[in-house]
Amino acid sequence: MTRIDAKFAALKAEGKKAFVAYVMAGDPDYETSLELIRGLPGAGVDIIEMGLPFTDPMADGETIQLAGQRALEAGMTLKRTLQMARAFREADDTTPIVLMGYYNPIYNHGVDTFLADAKAAGIDGLIVVDLPPEEDEELCIPAQAAGLNFIRLATPTTDDKRLPKVLQNTSGFVYYVSITGITGAAAAEAGDVGPEVARIKAQTDLPVIVGFGIRTPEAAESIASIADGAVVGSAIVGALADGKPVTDVLSFVKTLSDGTHRA
């Protein structure tokens, strides 16, 4: 059982939904980013999604693209991202960390070396948005063998024929992308998302978490009411980009987690 599995089991026992927060590792610099990540559990975050900066983030909207650029310009690398996870683990051995990014930096690091390093750093799961199920032998299956969850994205365009393939080697949870497009592009609507979540849950026992387009406590509560939890990324990254101090960003995160946990 991974930390992710244990977290969902504990939340289920409490009758609570999961709040997942996405932050870009190294944005705007290593020290500020680590301070923010260390503060997330205290702000009610159940699972931390740590973005791995990359030069060509095709699934991300402007807010997260700019965050990745700031992180890269500040010297963030895959090695330093794993170093940040290790630093977080010095004081927190229970909050799950999911590393979200693209395959190129992992490939360049070497898959076997990366998996060993990620496991040692305290990473619990991976979301690699540009590796389709047809490429599971590349990373997904080795990751599961190394004890890391491999979390797959399902989208509004994932039809009933495609869905079993998407779910085939997925573990930890299913990440349902609530809108067609990039991060931060539009608002998620529970009325649209509910039937899709039900469709996915009919084919898997895994929790289904909904992300993209959730920016307010009210939206987080609404989405979490029809899913197993909610992900907020662009709104948190944007608050940091606006120059708000980490304490203020964490206060905002707390309102989002409170909204999710009310569901």
| Residue pLDDT, tens place only, 126-154 | 999 999 999 999 999 999 999 999 999 99
Interatomic CA distance for residues 232 and 219, integer angstroms: 10
Provide mean pLDDT across the span 53-78: 94
Spatial separation of the C-alpha atoms in residues 27 and 261, rounded to whole Å? 27
CA–CA distance, 153 with 96 (Å, rounded to integer) = 18
CATH code matching the domain that covers 3-262, chosen among 3.40.50.1100, 3.20.20.70, 3.30.420.130, 3.30.70.980? 3.20.20.70
The mean pLDDT of the chain is 95
**Which of 5, 27, 46, 49 is the catalytic position?**
49
- The torsion of the CA quartet 227, 225, 46, 110, rounded to 10 degrees, works out to 20
pLDDT(187) > 90? no
Write down the pLDDT at residue 190: 77
Average pLDDT of the residues in 207-221? 95
Which among 60, 117, 196, 221 is annotated as catalytic? 60
Q: Give the model's confidence band at 184: pLDDT under 50 very low, under 70 low, under 90 confident, else very high.
A: low
For residue 94, the tally of other CB atoms under 10 A from its CB is: 10
The reply to whether omega before 133 is within 30° of 0 (cis) is no
Does the structure show a pLDDT above 70 at 110?
yes
Q: Measure Cα distances from 151 to 79, 216, 218 in Å.
A: 21, 24, 26
Q: What is residue 181's predicted lDDT score, i.e. its pLDDT?
A: 60
pLDDT reported for residue 59 = 80
pLDDT of residue 126: 98
- pLDDT tens digit sequence for 156-173: 999 999 999 999 999 999
Q: What is the pLDDT of residue 163?
A: 97
pLDDT at 151: 98
pTM of the model: 0.96
| Segment 59-63 mean pLDDT | 88
- Region of poorest pLDDT, from 11-25, 70-84, 187-201, 216-230: 187-201
- Using a 10 angstrom Cβ sphere, with 0-12 exposed, 13-18 middle and 19 or more buried, the burial of residue 255 is middle
- What average pLDDT does range 26-34 have in this prediction? 98
Query: Catalytic annotation on 60?
Result: yes
Question: Is 135 known to be catalytic?
Answer: no
Residues 6+ positions from 174 with CB-CB distance below 8 Å = 151, 152, 154, 166, 167, 200, 204, 206, 207, 208, 209
